Amino acid sequence: MINQLTNYITMKKLAILLLSLFFSFQTQAQSWWNSKKIKGNGNVTTEIRKIGSFDKVNIGGSFDVYLINGTEGKVTLEGEENILKYIETEVKNGKLNVHFKQNTNIKATKKLTVTIPFEKIEAVALGGSGNIIAKKRIKADVISFGLGGSGNIIASVDANTVKTSIGGSGNIKLKGKSDYLKCSIGGSGNIKAYDLKTSSLKANIAGSGDISVTVNNKIKATIVGSGSIYYKGNPSDIDKTSLGSGNVIDRN
């Protein structure tokens, strides 16, 4: 009875996540039709902007974002000159937000890149088709990665707890080490973490996305879709609940 109640609560949370994403996409679609359309003019330039200190990064757009070792206080944008002015970079409550201005529909003809020096980060989120690549290993007690689009997040971590969530078709690729890894997938995206060695994994899948990871101690998994968990390592405790076609599969 307790297991059934737990599974119900888990499925309810995942359903709420999927509904939230659906309404978010509906709002974005309506905004697209009413937006100002800007096409890149092909003239690439670089702009350096001053910002405040932060410990969270939230990216919303088709940028390639590089997180590099350095002192916080500035970001470097590179792209077409008539597009850069429509990119907002602001820090609010410790979160650095990088996104296009509201009611704009940007069509770049050249790559848009954002380079962000950081000292420490607790959360990284991407809500678009771009990529976030951490050039510096992220060291933290707890680090969270969230993906709500078709882009990718690539990072090396050294943390006690790593939290990952996907609500789109993109991928999160991690390497490094952690004591505890928590994964949630509500779409077709994948969490690729064979190169992340963790002691314990807690995973919830409510879509077709897969999780691949190296686990040494324990796996607790709830699967409500066709996605599967592929593991390397030798976990002694595997607790699995599957209400779909997905499974927990040994890849040693």
Cα separation, 231 vs 216, whole angstroms: 10
Residue 120: strand, helix, or coil: coil
- Say which residue the tokens 């690549």 belong to: 133
CA-wise closest residue to 144 among 211, 56, 70:
56
Q: pLDDT tens-digit profile of 5-32? A: 444 445 555 555 555 555 454 445 445 5
Cα separation, 64 vs 132, whole angstroms: 6
Cα separation, 238 vs 213, whole angstroms: 14
Structural domains of the chain, with CATH: 1-30+138-252 (2.160.20.120), 38-136 (2.160.20.120)
pTM above 0.75, yes or no: yes
Residue 30 main-chain phi, psi, to 5 deg: -65, -40
Confidence at 1, pLDDT banded by 50, 70, 90: very low
Cα separation, 59 vs 74, whole angstroms: 16
Q: Do 202 and 222 meet the contact criterion of CB atoms below 8 Å apart?
A: no
Q: Do 166 and 187 meet the contact criterion of CB atoms below 8 Å apart?
A: yes
Q: pLDDT tens-digit profile of 43-77? A: 999 999 999 999 999 999 899 999 999 999 999 99
